[in-house]
Amino acid sequence: MTELLTREEYGAIAAALELPCNAFIDGSFRPAASGKTFTTTNPATGVALGEVAACAAEDVDLAVAKAREAFDDGRWSRLHPGTRKEVLLRLAKLMERNARELAVLESLDSGKTIYDCETVDVPETIHVLRWHAELIDKIYDQVAPTSDDHLALVVREAVGVVGLVLPWNFPLLMLAWKIGPALAAGCSVVVKPAAETSLTALRLAELASEAGLPRGVLNVVTGSGSDVGEPLGRHPDVDMVSFTGSTVTGRRFLHYSADSNLKEIVLELGGKNPCIVLDDAEDLDAVAAHVVNGAFWNMGQNCSAASRLIVQKGIKARLLDRVRAHARAWNVGDPLDPSVRVGALVSPAHFAKVSTYLEAARAETLHLGGKIVAEGFIEPTIVEVSAADNRLAAEEIFGPILTVIEVAGFEEAIAIANATDYGLAASIFTANGKRALRGARMLRAGTVTVNSFGEGDISTPFGGYKQSGFGGRDNGIHAHDQYTQLKTIWLDLTDHGGSSLD
C-alpha cells in the first residue's frame, strides 16, 4: 500500500517537476513540425502548466513512417518474446521508481485526486504493463485438426502499426491498457493522448526508451483530435486503431477507416451504466459504499461509472439514507490534498457541460448536493427522476451526478437497465443467487458485477455491448486478440512415393 505524503510534500514535488512538452517520435522529444504549441492547464487552479507541441498531419506522417520502419525491420516485432518481456518489465520497474512524480504529474494535468493517482492510477498502470509483459512468453499458437496428410498451423502475428487514441479520464491507465498488449504482441504504436492530458504519456514514452524499447516503437504525437486524431484515423499505413472515448468520435473512426485503408477499428465508448438494488439486498452499508464509489469515483468521469441507481421501492428510503451518508464522506477540494476524494473536472468545457445537467437536476427531486463548489468543482449529487427517459437518466453525464429511478421489482429493473443504447457495465445487488445470475445473464452489458461495483481486473476482458463499442476487448488475455491477426500456414505432407520417407 502506498504511503501518502502531506499536501506540502506533494506541492514541493509539483514545483520541482520537469514537464515533458514535446512530442516523442522515433526515440526523442521534438517540437511540432509547424513549431506550434497549445497550453495545457491544471484544471484545479486554471494555472498554465506548459506549452505542448501542437502536432498535425505531417507529424503523424513522420511518426507512422518511423513506426513502420521499426515494425518492418523487426527491431521489436521479431525480437525473442523473452527479450520483449524483459524490456517491458524494466519499464514497469522504472515507473515504480518514478511513481510519485508520475502521480503528481497525472493529478496536475487532469484534476484527479492525488489519492487516486497514488493508490490506483499509477500502481494499476504498472501492474497492467507487468501482467502483459509476463504473458508474452507464455502464449502458444495452435495446430488445426487436419488429416495426417497435412499440417495446419494457426499462428498469431502482430497487426503492425497501431494508432492508439486516448481519453482524458485515465490518461496513464488507458495508455497501459492499450500499449501493454500492443507492445507485447510486437506492434509499433503511435499514441494520440487527449490534448487535456498529454504529459504522463510523454513521460512514460521517455521511461520506455530508458528501459530499452527501440526507437520508433512507441511514439506519442500530441495535439487535438482534428489535427492529430483524424490524420491518424485516415492514415493509409496504419493497420489498426484502438480508440477509447465518446460514441460520437468513435463513429468518426469507422468513417475514417471506410474512407481510407479499411484499417481495423476497436472502439471502447461511453456508458450509462445501471446499478440495480433489489429489496432483498444484504448489508446495505456495503451496498451504499459500492454505489457511491461507482457513481463518484474519478468525479464520475468514468465510462463504466454506475450512473443510474435502479432501486426497488421497498428498500429505496433505507438505501438512500446510507448512500447519502457515504457520499458525504467524499469531500471536494484541492486534488493535491491527500485527504480529498473529489477533485476537479478535467476542463472548463467539460465543467460547463456537467453544470447544465446539474441545473436540470435542481429541477427534479434532489437527495444530495446540487451545487457548484468552485469553478471546476461539483459536489457529489444524487437526483431522483420519475421517468427513465429523463435526460438525467438517459444521457452520459460523465460527472458526479447519480440518477435514481424507483422500480416495482426485478423484471422492471432489468427492462429499464437495458433500455439504453449503451451496454458497457451493469451491477446487480440481491441476496437471491438465482435472481442474481438470471439478472447477470439478462443484462446487456460487457461486464456485470454481482453484489459489487467494479470492472473486474486485468485478467478479465473489458468492453461494451451495443453502442458502447466493439471490435475487441481491453484487458485479459483477450486483449491480445486486438493486436494480433490469425494466419493459417498449411503444409502438404502427402507421400507421393519416392520421397525421402523411404
Rounded to whole angstroms, the Cα distance separating 393 from 382 reads 12
117 is catalytic: no
Q: Which residues bind ligand NAP (CB under 6 A)?
A: 165-169, 192, 194-195, 224-226, 229-230, 233, 244-246, 249, 252, 268-270, 303, 396, 398
118 noted as active-site residue: no
40 makes contact, choosing from Mg ion, ligand NAP, none, with CB < 5 to 8 Å by partner type, with Mg ion
Least separation in angstroms between residue 245's CB and ligand NAP is 3
Instruction: With beta carbons less than 8 A apart as the criterion, state whether 24 and 206 touch.
Output: yes
| Under rule CB under 5 A, residue 196 binds Mg ion | yes
**Partner whose footprint covers residue 384, from ligand NAP, Mg ion, none (CB < 5 to 8 Å by kind):** none
> Which residue matches cell numbers 520483449?
84
Nearer to Mg ion, 43 or 274 (CB): 43
- The three-class DSSP label of residue 135 is helix
Q: Which amino acid is at 206?
A: E
Residue of 268, 364, 379, 396 marked catalytic: 268
Q: Which three cell numbers stand for residue 78?
A: 521479431
Binders of Mg ion among 245-284, rule CB under 5 A? none
| 109 near Mg ion, judged by CB under 5 A | yes
Residues 18, 76: Cα–Cα separation, whole Å: 29
Stretch that binds Mg ion, among 33-41, 127-135, 267-275, 457-465 (CB under 5 A): 33-41
Cβ atoms within 10 A of the Cβ of 115, count?
A: 20
Residues 6+ apart with CB under 8 A from 299: 111, 112, 342, 343, 344, 345, 378, 399, 400
DSSP annotation of 298 reads: G
Give least dist CB 492 to ligand NAP, A: 46
Q: Which does 2 bind (CB under 5 to 8 A by kind): Mg ion, ligand NAP, none?
A: none
Minimum distance of Mg ion from residue 122's CB (angstroms): 17
Rounded CA-CA distance 440/489 in Å is 40
Q: How far, in Å, CA of 249 to CA of 243, rounded? A: 9
Cα gap 428→312, rounded to integer Å: 11
User: Of these partners, ligand NAP, Mg ion, none, which one is at the site of residue 406 (CB under 5 to 8 Å by kind)?
Assistant: none
Nearer to ligand NAP, 230 or 334 (CB): 230
In this structure, which amino acid lies at residue 361? A
Cβ distance to ligand NAP smaller for residue 304 or 451: 304
From ligand NAP, Mg ion, none, interface partner of 447 (C-beta below 5 to 8 A by class): none
Catalytic residues: 268, 303
Q: Which residues bind Mg ion (CB under 5 A)?
A: 40, 109, 196
